[in-house]
A and B are shown apart, each in its own frame.
Chain A
Amino acid sequence: MLLGDLAGMLREVTGADAAWVSRVTPDSRLDGDLWLDSVELAALGALLHHRYRIDLPAYLAGLDLDQLIELRVKDLLALAGAA
Chain B
Amino acid sequence: MSKFLFVTLPLNGHAYAAAAVAGAVRERGHDVAWAGSETYLRPLIGTDVTVFPTGMRPYRGQRDRGALALKSLWEGFVVPFARFTLPAVDRAVREYQPDVLVIDQHAVAGALVANRYGLRWASLAPQSMELTRPLRALPKVDGWVTDQLVRLWAEAGLPTGSYVDPRFSPYLVLAFTGHALAGDGFAEHFALVGPALGARPDTGDFDRSRLLPGRRTVLVTMGTLANDLAADFYPRVMSALAPMDVQAVVVAQPEVLPDPPANVLVAPRVPVLDLMPTLDAVVCHGGLNTMCEALAHGVPVVVAPIKHDQPVNAAQVAAAGAGVRVHFGRCRPEQLRAALYAVLDDPAYRAAAGAIRASFTAAGGAGEAARRLAALAEEA
Residues of A whose CB lies within 8 Å of any CB of B are 14-17, 20, 31-32, 35-40, 57, 60-66, 68-69
B36 within 8 A of A: no
**Do A39 and B325 have beta carbons less than 8 Å apart?**
yes
**Contact partners of B330 in chain A: CB under 8 A:** 14-16, 20, 35
- Residues in B with CB closer than 8 Å to A65 are 67, 70-71, 140-141, 144
Contact B140 A15 (CB under 8 A): no
Q: With A37-B311, A60-B138, A65-B140 given, is the CB distance from A14 to B327 under 8 Å?
A: yes
Which A residue sits closest to B307, measured CB to CB?
A: A37
Judging by beta carbons under 8 Å apart, are A32 and B314 in contact?
Answer: no
Q: Which residue of chain B is the closest to A38 with respect to CB atoms?
A: B311
A37 in contact with B140 (CB, 8 Å): no
Chain B residue nearest to A39 (CB atoms) is B315
Q: Which residues of A contact B67 (CB under 8 A)?
A: 31, 65, 68-69
Residues of B within 8 A of A (CB): 65-68, 70-71, 134, 137-141, 144, 305, 311-312, 314-315, 325, 327-330, 332, 335
* Cα of A16 to Cα of B329 in the assembled complex, Å: 10
Give which listed residue, A14, A39, A60, contacts B314 with CB less than 8 A: A39
| CB pairs A–B below 8 angstroms (29 shown) | A14-B327, A14-B330, A15-B327, A16-B327, A17-B332, A20-B330, A32-B65, A35-B328, A35-B329, A35-B330, A37-B305, A37-B311, A38-B134, A39-B311, A39-B314, A60-B137, A60-B138, A61-B137, A63-B138, A63-B141, A64-B140, A64-B141, A64-B144, A65-B70, A65-B71, A65-B144, A66-B71, A69-B68, A69-B71
Given the interface pairs A64-B141, A69-B71, the reply to whether A35 lies near B311 with Cβ below 8 Å is no
Give the distance in Å from the alpha carbon of A9 to the alpha carbon of B268 in the complex.
Answer: 40
Interfacial chain B residues near A17, Cβ < 8 Å: 332
| Chain A: CB-nearest residue to B75 | A65
Q: Which residues of A contact B144 (CB under 8 A)?
A: 64-65
B331 to chain A, nearest CB (A): 8
Q: Are A31 and B66 in contact (CB under 8 A)?
A: yes
Residues of A within 8 A of B66 (CB): 31-32, 35-37, 69
With a CB–CB cut-off of 8 A, which chain A residues contact B314?
A: 39
Q: Taking the nearest CB of chain B, how far is it from the CB of A30, in angstroms?
A: 9
Instruction: Report A-chain residues with C-beta under 8 Å of the C-beta of B65.
Output: 32, 35
A65, closest chain B residue (CB): B141
Are B140's CB and A31's CB within 8 A? no
List the B side residues contacting A38 at CB < 8 Å. 134, 311-312, 315
- Chain A residue nearest to B141 (CB atoms) is A65
Give 8 new A-B contacts, CB below 8 A, not counting A32-B68, A39-B325, A65-B70: A14-B330, A31-B66, A36-B66, A37-B311, A61-B138, A62-B140, A65-B71, A69-B68
Smallest CB separation, B152 vs chain A (Å):
18
Taken together as a complex, chains A and B put the C-alpha atoms of A68 and B144 apart, in Å, by: 13
Question: In the assembled complex, which residues on chain B have CB atoms less than 8 Å from the CB atom of A31?
Answer: 66-68
> What residues of chain A lie closer than 8 Å to B328, measured between beta carbons?
35
Query: What's the nearest-Cβ distance from chain B to residue A45, in Å?
Result: 10
Residues of A within 8 A of B141 (CB): 63-65, 68
A57 vs B141: C-alpha distance in the bound complex, in angstroms? 13
